[in-house]
Amino acid sequence: MRQASWVATLSESDAENTFILLTIQECPDLQAKLITIINKDENREK
């Protein structure tokens, strides 16, 4: 994953997308751009 340009989380579950995003952010030397999907409007402000 260190050579990835982009990482996308596209699950239907906002909780799962967030967990994956936070896990990826912990990877050392990661230069990739992170993209995630927010499915429920009430989760947009969090």
**Bridge-partner residues for 35, per DSSP?**
8
- The pLDDT of residue 27: 86
pTM assigned to the model: 0.71
Phi, psi of 35 (to 5 degrees): -125, 135
How far apart are alpha carbons 45 and 24 in whole angstroms? 21
Structure tokens at 37: 């999907």
Which pLDDT tens digit goes with each residue over 1-46?
668 899 899 999 999 999 998 998 888 888 889 998 899 998 887 6
> What is the pLDDT, as a whole number, of residue 28?
84
